[in-house]
Amino acid sequence: MEITNGGRGCVMWFGELMDMRVYADGGQDLYVRLARSEIGGGGMEKLAIIIVVAIVGLVILLAGLGFYIVWKRNLRISRNARTQPKGPYGRSQVLLLNEVVFTSKDFYSGERISDEPELALIDFSTVAVASNNFSDENLLGEGGFGYVYKGTLTEGQEIAVKRLSKNSGQGTEEFKNELKLIARLQHINLVRLLACCIDKDEQMLIYEYMENKSLDAFLFSREKRSTLDWQKRYNIICGIARGLVYLHQDSRFRIIHRDLKASNILLDGEFTPKISDFGMARIFGKDQNESHTRRVVGTYGYMSPEYAMDGFFSTKSDVFSFGVLVLEIISGKKNKGFFNYSDNKPNLLDCAWKQWKEGKGLETVDSSLGNSYCPSEVLRCIQVGLLCVQEHVVDRPTMSSVVFMLSSPDATMPQPKTPGFCLGRNPAGQTDSSSSKLEESRTIDQVTIAALDCR
């Protein structure tokens, strides 16, 4: 059939399309309607199908890879658990310490402990078995917080368990405070927190075990203090100083310990000092220099005058406590309290100050040391200790300056003035009224103000 001369119309064609031509001029356009199945094109559809198949394949591949990784990890954990000693319920105690994490929500009020640190949880039954059910034979010490026990996990790791007394209302706040702070701190001269246990009304902190216990157990014992030769004592002084520098300026937070004393300095097997017990500690902002409280907590004999009398505390309060510690370490004597006005008997600070003024500073040295020390090094440490216990805050050095003075034999140091709480003068700003309040607080807290005689 042929259509010519511009004809129009629709022709039903059932044969093959053969002998079709394209003319440069003339001819007619022929439009042919075919079934979709007979069209040979569809490139876009093919591309779409290829993309879909590729995506599905990739998803299946990634899912398989993820499954394989999880399977391998579980297999490794299972193998480790089978080769490690088991706890009371057959669970590896290593996994209890390293795998079960304490989430960053406070277990009391939902407050955040921190954004980053995670602390391992350990179950009560494991702690009970490790400490021989908290037996008296495992008791290391006690304080306002509660009791401290030695424990040994079944794989041999030794731990110290700080158990909150169930009758201690103040201890609960100290527990929360210590948990918030110590989990954020990492330093060789700070005790390391391994885990915690929170089980119904039981609250415990799990620390690394210190073989030589606390500094006061050696320092104030006639039998043990000879173990501390001068080199050990000097290293302990320097280690405590470095730990305080970390707390005051090198950590993410500025932390005031507020209860630095010999019993809160723990010693490992090498007599490396570790600052412990952060229940009273407070966090300062980087631009905050001082704070005030109406509730003075701490230990008499180590408190600075402005804190004991008026409740003001700062990094310089810790500096004062450090100075007392230095003089105790050198002398082997405990600063048992403030001066005693009625008996006119001096405390350790007064004794050391008088001997320093008279040019007899070496008479402060513990007699158990004999002549095994370097006189110039000891005198430098005494001078640093006296500078730290100055009555006025502005006269005390920072801990970074203390570290510099201790490690620099040729450093020029200022001469100390009369320390705080020395005989014959009232602390700055103390009136008769404040003196009577101080005496009242001594009675309430049952603090014994014992006298020290100068040698």
d(CA 26, CA 41): 28
From residue 5, alpha-carbon distances to 12, 128, 164 in Å are: 20, 109, 110
Known binding residue 162? Answer is yes
Coil, strand, or helix at residue 151? strand
d(CA 353, CA 419): 7
d(CA 241, CA 204): 28
CB 244 within 8 A of CB 275: yes
Which one of 259, 277, 318, 366 is the catalytic residue?
Answer: 259
| SS3 of 207-224 | EECCCCCEHHHHHCCCCC
Task: Give burial (CB, 10 Å; 0-12/13-18/19+) of 403.
Answer: middle
Q: Which of 252, 280, 262 is nearest to 220 (CA)?
A: 262
Partner residues linked to 283 by β-bridges = 255
> Residue 292: in which H helix or E strand, if any?
strand 291-292
Q: Which amino acid is at 143?
A: G
d(CA 336, CA 348): 8
For the chain, the farthest-separated pair of C-alpha atoms sits apart, in whole angstroms, at 140
d(CA 177, CA 196): 13
Q: Please say if 19 is a catalytic residue.
A: no
From residue 22, alpha-carbon distances to 12, 16, 29 in Å are: 21, 17, 9
> Which one-letter DSSP state was computed for residue 138?
G
| SS3 of 208-274 | ECCCCCEHHHHHCCCCCHHHCCHHHHHHHHHHHHHHHHHHHHHCCCEEECCCCCHHHEEECCCCCEE
> Which one-letter DSSP state was computed for residue 101?
E
> Residues with catalytic annotation?
259
Binding-site positions: 162
